[in-house]
């Protein structure tokens, strides 16, 4: 069930989750229908990522150790982790609407989706649907970055 390189996924998951929790302390407190605030969902997801990482580490610890370590197998995990960290760091400055389609498209590209129409449609449609749900439906103020002047009012 567990692979020989699951320890890397585990360590990266724990580090990414901890990074998200750390960064969520800097998000502004804004008025929304959500009493927990804008950082609640990312923190919940970050704890989920940490738990998954711990499960991978435990699974690796108790699995038979065999075969040689292959860096090529870890390349997608490292790439997605790097893209996620860049997304988090630029989120407030560039905003949800610019960065989220780029995150979705780049993640799909990393996992070998190469049809450009599928990449673009999925990236922009998923972003638009999620934005409508959170911004208009739930009245949660997402960081809009340089596009904020379009939503003033």
Q: How far apart are CA 20 and CA 18, in angstroms?
A: 5
91-125: per-residue pLDDT in tens? 989 999 999 999 999 999 999 999 999 999 999 99
Classify residue 115 by burial, with Cβ atoms within 10 Å: 0-12, 13-18, 19+: exposed
> Phi, psi (5° rounding) for residue 12?
-65, -40
CB-CB contact of 37 with 23 (8 Å): no
Q: How far apart are CA 145 and CA 153, in angstroms?
A: 16
What are the domain boundaries of the chain? 1-68, 70-153
User: Is pLDDT of 31 > 60?
Assistant: no
Of 74, 64, 54, the closest CA to residue 10 belongs to: 54
% pLDDT > 70, the chain:
82
């Amino acid at each position: 069930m567990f692979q020989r390189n699951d320890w890397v996924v585990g360590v990266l998951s724990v580090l990414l989750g901890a990074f998200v929790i750390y960064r969520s302390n800097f998000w502004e407190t804004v008025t929304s229908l959500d009493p927990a605030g804008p950082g609640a969902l990312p923190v919940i997801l970050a704890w989920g990522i940490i738990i998954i990482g711990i499960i991978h580490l435990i699974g690796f610890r108790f699995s038979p150790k065999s075969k040689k370590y292959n860096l090529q197998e870890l390349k997608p995990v490292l790439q997605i982790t790097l893209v996620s960290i860049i997304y988090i760091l630029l989120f407030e400055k560039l905003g949800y609407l610019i960065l989220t389609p780029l995150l979705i498209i780049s993640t799909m590209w990393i996992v070998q989706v190469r049809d450009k129409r599928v990449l673009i449609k999925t990236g922009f449609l998923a972003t638009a649907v999620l934005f409508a749900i959170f911004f208009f439906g739930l009245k949660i103020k997402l960081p809009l970055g340089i596009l904020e002047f379009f939503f003033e009012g």
